[in-house]
Chain A
Amino acid sequence: MSANPASRWGLRVLGLGYLTMLLLIPLVMIFFKTFEEGIGPPIDAITSPDGLHALKLTLLMVAIAVPLNTIFGVACALLLVRHKSKANGVIDAIINLPFAVSPIVIGLSLFLLYGTDGWLGFLADNGIKILFSVPGMVLASIFVSLPFVVRETVPVLQEIGTDQELAASTLGANGWQTFWKITLPSIRWGVAYGVVLTTARVLGEFGAVTIVSGSISGQTQTLPLFVEKQYANFNSPGAYGAALVLALLALITLFAMNLLKRKEDA
């Protein structure tokens, strides 16, 4: 492509410079700021009852939203790719909604739907609490992270085509066997990448969850909300410490996928 060394170096400097300024420096800054006053304050903040509760709640969100969106995402991708119909365009557009709509708007719409005057407000009257509690936060997390598995799986499904699945059926496999033995193993890296992105999105979700949860310390506060509260209360080391934990969780998911992939390739 570009045999010209000057343009090659130019592109490298531009790309790396952009990444450094916008991504690396801010993240490194957090790391240094966290331990500015020693290791004590951030550890204290994280191990406080509210901090631990926020961590647990965040992991709970991941544990519920990620499997649900994975199952839905794969099923939906199969529908879009393998069962062509006129409704697919509409389904495709709806799946992209969470990308297009601001999380705050998503939070507000859930708030309106489940609020006392909302269409589903009667649930709260009958003792099923959605808003300001875990169910509402799970709904918000699922909403914002819904498209990732679908988006990552669709192109892989298109690429592998239908020949392998048809071959399996002529060899006697039923639909269920074909899915588990042929389709899923063929699309697994697309799905895995979608899972990583979904996890990262759920871990970091702030806007929609803030609105529906009310951000009550020790009750409906996830890690991102905890970070924000600490920061607002001038507990910078606590905020940075919690932020670092969040970043670490995301990195662990990424590394876990890479590790699995390397093991497979070996």
Chain B
Amino acid sequence: MGISVEGANKRFGDFQALDDVSIEVPDGSLTALLGPSGSGKSTLLRAIAGLEDLDAGVVTINGEDATGKPAQKRGVGFVFQHYAAFKHMTVYDNVAFGLKIRKWDKRKTSQRVHELLELVQLDGLAGRFPSQLSGGQRQRMALARALAVQPQVLLLDEPFGALDAKVRKDLRTWLRRLHEEMHVTTIFVTHDQEEAMDVAGQLVVMNEGRVEQSGTADELYEHPANEFVMSFVGEVNQLGEHFVRPHDMEIVLDPDDRTQEGLVQRIVTLGFEVRVELVLSDGTEVWAQLTRAELQRLELREGQIAYLRPAQAKSFNGSSPSSHGASTPHGSHDGGDAEVPAAV
């Protein structure tokens, strides 16, 4: 059950949008497709909805092969980044559209539409036109419209991408709650890792038309399969072949055989968190994330020499015995951890 895609391929001219992509989305889950623009995440979502034909591959929705089916018969609810509101229809008629196509009688339609408008907190605005709504209201209307026909799966393509930061955060919380209530299998596409981790239980990280890794937010953060995932799901410093998260950069004042010398260039205090920027002897620029208390204990000053001890570093070099290859999506959990040698 749920959604599965197997061996999906799609080319647009010379551009390989999807390169042998397979994903499994468990029934009732809320899954994020995360990746930079051009990574193929939207193409994959549209292929699941039937809005894009695959060159090869199989799409299965709730156990049924949907590959050749037109969008109108797939039973999916789709929400577009730019709302795709029917501009010539009122909010009511927008939400009622799918029900009218299914020839519901007027009384039942009205009841269902008002239920949904209440759910998305637009019940007072049924008679408005989309042009009279804010971006956030339009997107909630689009969501109500998609949910009206009781879809088997809900697909959202960068649903908050066109909204400002405050509204985006509100809608995020709201979407998560809505999913907890409705339990409809949901996939949403985003390029914002924070948004993905905040909303979704499962994440699929995509890059250049391929799936790099899938798992929970914790799994991806703690045990990234490769350099791309590591740098995409969080901040990262590169020390030679090793990658270290800024909060794993320990700063000490006395050198030993595991430390590296660095010149403190800048100290930025961001409330509780402190950002210390250093330049290493080979010119590499790195930064460490400390707490206020740690900074005070060390009495660091800009322009002084300090010593870095990476507490946890990862290497994704295939030749190193303590690392795992990029092709292993759920790689062994501690395989990538390594101590960084003092000399780089």
Contacts and interface: CB of A to CB of B under 8 A. Distances in A.
Given A185-B88, A186-B87, A186-B88, A168 B70 contact: no
Interface in A161-183: 163-164, 166-174, 177, 181-182
B149 A172 contact: yes
A163 B87 CA distance: 11
Contact of A167 (B73, B78, B88): B78
Nearest to B142: A167
A171 B87 contact: no
Interface of A: prevailing SS: helix
A186 B88 CA distance: 7
B228 interface: no
Given A167-B78, A168-B97, A173 B84 contact: no
Contacts of A172: 72-73, 98, 101-102, 149
Contacts of A181: 97
A82 to B, nearest CB: 14
B78 A170 contact: yes
Q: Which of B49, B72, B73, B142 counts the most A-chain CB atoms under 10 A from its CB?
A: B72
Interface residues of A, number: 16
Interface residues of B, number: 28
A170 B72 contact: yes
A170 B87 contact: no
B71 A166 contact: yes
B87 A173 contact: no
B132 to A, nearest CB: 14
B76 interface: yes
A169 B70 contact: yes
19 contacts: A163-B82, A164-B84, A164-B87, A166-B71, A166-B84, A167-B80, A168-B97, A169-B51, A170-B49, A170-B50, A170-B146, A171-B97, A171-B146, A172-B72, A172-B101, A173-B97, A181-B97, A182-B86, A186-B87
Interface of A: 163-164, 166-174, 177, 181-182, 185-186
Closest 4 pairs between A and B when the two form their complex, measured CB to CB: A171-B98, A163-B84, A167-B84, A170-B78
